[in-house]
A and B are shown apart, each in its own frame.
Chain A
Amino acid sequence: MNETHHRVTLTVNGVVREATVPGRRLLSDCLRHDLGLTGTHVGCEHGVCGACTVLLDGEPVRSCLTFAVTVDGQEITTVEGLAQGGALSPVQRAFTECHALQCGFCTPGFLCTVTAFLRDNPAPSEEEALEAVAGNLCRCTGYQNILKAVHRAAEIQAAEIQAAELQAEEGGA
């Protein structure tokens, strides 16, 4: 019994990567085992826990429910790609500042989810922030510090945007 393999080309964290995978290969397994990006974790294998969440063309998806062959040619951001140029992203900084992780296993999924959320909603209400993380399971933190981190990340992000705008104005003047 030999399986048919398919060649897929993915842009992962800005880098073009190729893999040869059987049709049933999950995106999570492809990222982890074919491309060596083990930051994306698998907690339940059926799309409930959210640990495997990555950004597919910017939108959060469960990589454990996605076949790698179905995303051929698309762009993927994993937890490894959240820090830009060696600088931690606002969401990453907020998570550590607020002690929003303990064992860290579910954290990559939360980080990807919150990153996409704050891009679309940079100043969320309490209710909106709660809703945003309510599809991800964490067994360690009790979520309180994760919610705190969402708001803290929004603050950091806003301050950074403001600082960048100021710099652009000064540069332009």
Chain B
Amino acid sequence: MTTRLFGEPVQRREDPRLITGRGRYLDDLGAGALAAAFVRSPHAHARILDVDVSDALDVDGLVAIYTWEDLPGALAEPLPLLIPHPALTHGRTAYPLAREIVRHVGEPVVMVVARDRYLAEDACALIRVGYEVLKPVVGLEEAAGGAHLVHDDVPGNIGAHLVQEVPGPGGETAREAVDAAPHRLEFRLDVERSACTPLEGKGVYARWDADDASLRVYSSTQTSTSVRMAIAAKLGLPLPKVEVVAPDVGGGFGVKIVHPWPEEILVPWAARLLNRELKWTEDRREHFVSSSHERGQVQHVRVGFDDDGRLLGLEVEILHDHGAYTPYGIIVPIITSTQLLGPYKVGAYRVEFSSVYTNTVQVTPYRGAGRPQGVFCMERTMDKIAAYLGRDRTEVRAANFVQPDEFPYDQGLTFQDGRPLIYDSGDYPEALRMLKELIGWDSFPEEKARAAAEGRRIGIGVGCYVEGTGVGPYEGGHVQITSDGRVHVSTGLTSQGQGHETVFAQIAATELGVPIERVSVVTGDTRRFGYAVGTFASRAAVMSGNAIALACRKVREKALRIAAEALEADPRDLEITDGMVHVAGAPSASIPLATVAVLSNPLRYAFDEEAKRATQFAGPASDDRPPVAEGEEPGLEGRDYYSPVRSTFAAGMHAAIVETDPDTAEIRILRYAVVHDCGRLINPMIVEGQIHGGVAQGVGGALYEKMVYDEHGQLLNASFMDFLMPYATEIPRIETAHLETPSPLNPLGIKGAGEAGVIPVSAVLAAAIEDAEGIPIDRMPISPSDLHTLRRSR
């Protein structure tokens, strides 16, 4: 079978254009368009006194300057709060251009339009904004102290406060369970801020068609459909008059799911107002100070357990820094507090978080979306229990695993999609067995002793996670087979390098029995598919993959019905192979799908030879039946949606061996092993690539990356010179093994894979460093100088 492609390492169909410079990223579009640039706040907290543009007016090529006062109607209102939640009692969002107060360095104040970006920046440099500097709130605990406020009307800087509680098996509260437990531990953990940092920043390019009174917007976004709705609403345009296209996108990792960014509505607005094409391309510094960050949390943990290390009660209090605004609600701390449970049964659980405002860049999901912090918390807890009891760290974990025969397993909490946190499937003991074998867990003590004899310090660590993937509410797929035999697949969600064009084509080719070369896939273009949610939460393969499979099945059924009539056969006896519909076991009785497509659309006019077969005098027709039967539609196409009752739950376990230099405290990863279960694999090559990339980002977060704010709220390392992303020299070779426990929730049995790699890395490396050094590691990231300080303070 040439068409069985599901599960094969098919080469990517995106690559030919991307390796020859023919990709079309946002800034590659719109040659000759006007350029926008922004004057952004240099202060973390200040009142705007005046804006003086007089010097800027002399700049050659200047077209327009806008401030908040220029914005009409809904555009002058605060940006949407995308995901409201009852616990988010004090949600606040920014204005597209600052109104009176700026609340973080980088907040846009003035928009400039000029002939090109150089000139727009010249004008920006000549605009003088007068500020009265206010006291900035920087740092989680300072914010929670509430001495100074980020928003005057948000007491204590608390935006949201949420408690979730699950009683133990005997109905005891977590507090009671911990207090009554044979053993108790109490500790604090810290995780610093990092950011997605895609190599391509954000960007928007808008074309207003005055003749047609319509707008086409290109945005480097993770959700073109929702950007479209936001633009239509903000600009008061009828939805059908707005189209949004996500072109090739140079990485997202979460930051581009937030929308509408100020620029996403300001650029289309100005393009329409000026009746000129207009583009804004974010520069690197802008990305650091005006896009989103994530990760920063302080966690206080109390845990009670028995002699075998089995959890009896767990209490976690989380202080979460959401920056100056909350456009994406409190999704991140909700995910931390629910996914913290991982593959374990924890007895009684109580989690409480306070999400606080600071005068820093807003916090919204970054790959992993709160899970790395949750997993750091739980896995550090497991290691502390093991250390306390003097037991093997993997034994303690195994003692707490949800068992394979316990699925579906209800954790008793409400997940980020508002639905119960019920794990669909998994095999955690097997994953751990595979991981221990892969890394050589049981023989490590000898290895460590040998290294010690040579004066070397090495350590091993392990970390486990469960990731709710494929969250709803839905995605759709449209599949059309045209009379040339080509298969056109579209789905509304977007792509940022995940290989969707390839994996969705694999699904369509497999479902329809056509060569993959005939399949083309379009994502993120509202002209092709208008209903979608977006690409986040490792959901694209699960959601659009299944929707496309379902749409293909509709098309296949129709093709078989039409072919059966033409071949005078029973549709149940038909198969499709290599684009030919044929009677099973009798390949000579066949008809190409191209011809079926012709026959599916009764024609009056023949436009080519093939089309003649569908015209009204071409063949015998039944006089008493309409050409398009009741309940049928012309054309060989189908549309379907996949809307799951709840999320799927992928899982994985990582282990690492590190070496720490006794003198310099340098930390080197000697080995890194991953066992990963994302259900059925569509393309193992692509899944491995996702894992590699995720682990690399995890290593960055664990050892190098943090956002360094000073007490004035200035981001001190807003460049690639100072924010240390790993190069090839920092990333170890990653050894992977796959476990496949299919999801019972969807037709293809798949779970998501996009974020998995990043999730446990901080926990794993903290554990390995702790093992090498014998010093508790409770704060990430950890640099050589941090480790040096820890050694000295021991």
A residues in contact (CB < 8 Å) with B:
1-3, 22, 24-25, 32-33, 36-46, 48-49, 51, 78-80, 82-83, 88, 92, 95-97, 99, 101-108, 111, 130-131, 133-147
Contact = CB atoms under 8 A, between A and B. Distances in A.
Nearest to B248: A104
A157 to B, nearest CB: 16
Given A95-B15, A105-B199, A105-B251, A142 B284 contact: no
A147 B19 contact: no
A1 B283 CA distance: 25
Interface range on chain B (Cβ under 8 Å from partner):
35 or more
Contact of B728 (A37, A49, A133): A133
A2 B60 contact: yes
Given A49-B720, A102-B498, A108-B21, A44 B284 contact: yes
Contacts of A99: 11-12, 685-686, 688-689
Given A92-B19, A144-B733, A147-B728, 6 more contacts: A78-B21, A131-B729, A137-B199, A139-B697, A141-B696, A143-B696
Nearest to A92: B19
B19 A107 contact: yes
A104 B251 CA distance: 8
20 contacts: A22-B118, A38-B27, A39-B22, A43-B720, A44-B284, A45-B284, A83-B20, A95-B19, A96-B15, A101-B19, A103-B199, A103-B250, A104-B14, A105-B250, A130-B729, A142-B731, A142-B734, A143-B696, A143-B727, A144-B734
B23 interface: yes
A128 B618 CA distance: 69
A48 B59 contact: no
A36 B197 CA distance: 26
Interface centre among B11, B248, B250 (most CB of A within 10 A): B250
Contact of B25 (A102, A105, A111, A138): A105
A118 to B, nearest CB: 15
Interface centre among B18, B21, B200, B694 (most CB of A within 10 A): B21
Interface centre among A24, A48, A80 (most CB of B within 10 A): A48
Interface in B282-328: 283-284
Interface centre among A24, A88, A96 (most CB of B within 10 A): A96
Nearest to B58: A1
A49 B116 CA distance: 24
B60 to A, nearest CB: 5
B11 A41 contact: no
Contacts of B58: 1
Contacts of B498: 102
Given A41-B250, A105-B251, A139-B251, A32 B27 contact: yes
B472 interface: no
Contact of A105 (B198, B283, B686, B728): B198
A3 B249 CA distance: 34
Nearest to B284: A44
Contacts of B685: 99
A33 B23 CA distance: 15
B728 to A, nearest CB: 4
Contacts of A147: 728
A41 B731 CA distance: 24
Interface string B9-37: 00110111011111111011001000000
A92 B499 CA distance: 17
Contacts of B28: 32, 38
B686 A103 contact: no
Interface in B670-713: 685-686, 688-697
A79 B19 CA distance: 7
Contact of A92 (B20, B283, B695, B725): B20
A21 B253 CA distance: 36
Given A48-B720, A139-B199, A102 B693 contact: yes
Nearest to B17: A104
B775 to A, nearest CB: 28
A103 B59 contact: no
A80 to B, nearest CB: 4
B700 to A, nearest CB: 9
A79 B497 CA distance: 19
Given A45-B283, A46-B720, A79-B20, A33 B31 contact: yes
Contact of B197 (A103, A134, A139, A143): A139
Contacts of A142: 689, 691-696, 731, 734, 757
Contacts of A24: 118
B275 interface: no
B23 A104 contact: yes
A144 B719 CA distance: 25
B210 interface: no
Nearest to A26: B118
Contacts of B18: 101, 104, 107
B444 to A, nearest CB: 23
Nearest to B281: A42
A124 B653 CA distance: 34
Contacts of B249: 103
B586 interface: no
A27 to B, nearest CB: 14
A32 to B, nearest CB: 7
Interface centre among B116, B198, B199 (most CB of A within 10 A): B199
B692 A139 contact: no
B730 to A, nearest CB: 9
B731 A144 contact: yes
A58 to B, nearest CB: 18
Nearest to A131: B729
